[in-house]
Amino acid sequence: MSVKAITEEDIKTLETLAAKYPERRSALLPMLHYVQSIQGMVSPAGIQVCAKVLDLTPAEVAAVATFYTMYKRFPMGKHHIGVCVNTLCALLGGDDLWKELTDTLGIGHDETTADGLFTLERIECQAACTVAPVMTVNWEFMDSMNPTSLRDLIDKLKIGAPVQSTRGVQITSISDSQRVLAGINDGKYQESPLADDSMLAGLRVAKERNMSAPVGKGAK
């Protein structure tokens, strides 16, 4: 799978991202997302460009790019699929989802299908236990999944049919999602709610009972 080169126009965008922060090096995470939106990965060339824009060493940039698992050192497919396999999701069907995916697509963790369409990742927690088992497609949530809904999802993605996240926007590609994570507004953040009733149950009960968090020592 070929990796796109970073253009002068892309470097201008990286400069714009860096200029948003009082400390330019604080822009490194969104800049890496932007590089990944172009290349489908964070390549050595991408690391060099980020280092030059931020006046850092390539080693400093590489240390960050290899610390966070969201940044890949290999080309991803069009769709990145993450399945939560932590305890609760696993008990409620996450392991079944993972087996269904690996059997259907013929790939495993951090592997990409030969047609460049799907990359799979086992994820320890997606912070959505109330709607377990949960998975993400291009970092958009798909809640309360089961093998049947998973097969329907994969079939739609294969033919390019519309797929709506259960709590986000219409799913397009990992490249588009990376641009959003870089801080580039796509104008779609209001397309659907980010939390459902079950996620807000605790807040609702707290309000009904006039509950509040205890004030710690030294709090103002």
pLDDT at 130: 86
3 CB-near residues (< 8 Å, 6+ apart): 39, 40, 41, 43, 75
Answer yes or no: are the C-beta atoms of 142 and 165 closer than 8 Å.
yes
The burial class, CB within 10 Å (0-12 / 13-18 / 19+), for 158 is: middle
- Helix spans in 40-164 (H): 44-54, 58-67, 87-89, 95-105, 147-159
pLDDT reported for residue 9: 96
The domains of the chain are located at 8-67, 79-181
Q: List CB contacts of 48: < 8 A, sequence separation 6 or more.
A: 58
Confidence at residue 212, expressed as pLDDT on a 0 to 100 scale: 85
In degrees and rounded to multiples of 5, residue 80 shows phi and psi of: -95, 125
Which residue stretches of the chain have pLDDT < 50? none
Question: What does pTM read for this prediction?
Answer: 0.85
- What does the pLDDT read at residue 128? 87
Whether residue 75 is preceded by a cis peptide bond, meaning omega within 30 degrees of 0, is: no
Per-residue model confidence (pLDDT) at position 201: 81
Q: Is 8-67 in CATH node 3.30.390.50? A: no
Residue 79: what are its φ and ψ, rounded to 5°? -120, 125
User: Which CATH number applies to 79-181: 3.40.30.10, 1.10.150.80, 3.40.47.10, 3.10.20.600?
Assistant: 3.40.30.10
Nearest 10 degrees: CA dihedral of 140, 143, 147, 152? Answer: -50
Shared fold status for 8-67 and 79-181: no
In DSSP terms, 136 is beta-bridged to: 82, 141
pLDDT at 195: 65
Q: Residue holding tokens 């079944």?
A: 96
CB 101 within 8 A of CB 81: yes
- DSSP code for 49: H
Render pLDDT for 75-112 as a digit per residue (tens, 0 to 9): 999 999 999 999 999 999 999 999 999 999 999 999 99
Do 32 and 64 contact (CB within 8 A), yes or no? Answer: yes
Predicted pLDDT of residue 45: 96
Q: Provide the CA 154 distance to its chain's centre, in angstroms.
A: 18
| pLDDT for the residue 28 | 98
